[in-house]
Homo-oligomer: A and B are copies of this chain.
Amino acid sequence: MSAEMLKGHLDAVLLATIGDEALHGYAIIEAIRARSGGHFDLPEGTIYPALHRLELAGLLSSRWVQPDGGRKRRVYALTDGGRQSLVERRAGWQSFASGIDLVLGSRA
């Protein structure tokens, strides 16, 4: 799958993956791989800058957590703005996808 396809949709993927359960970056990568049915296997160099971007935009908040075993993790959760943005981006995706479907004649 082309690398450019994801552009403009990664934020929605991240917001939806985090959802209600706070997750750290590494776990987000695995969750995306699992929930996408193996479609997406995103590298760290994609995820971490995107998380920082979303936090800077006020859609995510992060805190450092020291688990019993293992090293410190940075855990991300949706803010109120993040939840709202997720709703908008879901609608935006459906609009976009139906437009592409119409043009490609795939699912029309």
Shortest C-beta distance, A53 to chain B (Å), equals: 12
Q: Which listed residue, B7, B35, B103, touches A17 by the CB 8 Å rule?
A: B103
Shortest C-beta distance, A78 to chain B (Å), equals: 14
Shortest C-beta distance, A86 to chain B (Å), equals: 9
Shortest C-beta distance, A94 to chain B (Å), equals: 6
Question: Which of A8-16, A58-66, A69-77 lies at the binding interface?
Answer: A8-16
Integer count of this chain's copies in the complex = 2
Does A100 lie within 8 Å of B9, measured CB to CB?
Answer: yes
With a cutoff of 8 Å between Cβ atoms, the chain B residues found around residue A94 in the complex are 106-107
Known contacts A90-B104, A105-B16: A1-B95 contact under CB 8 Å: yes
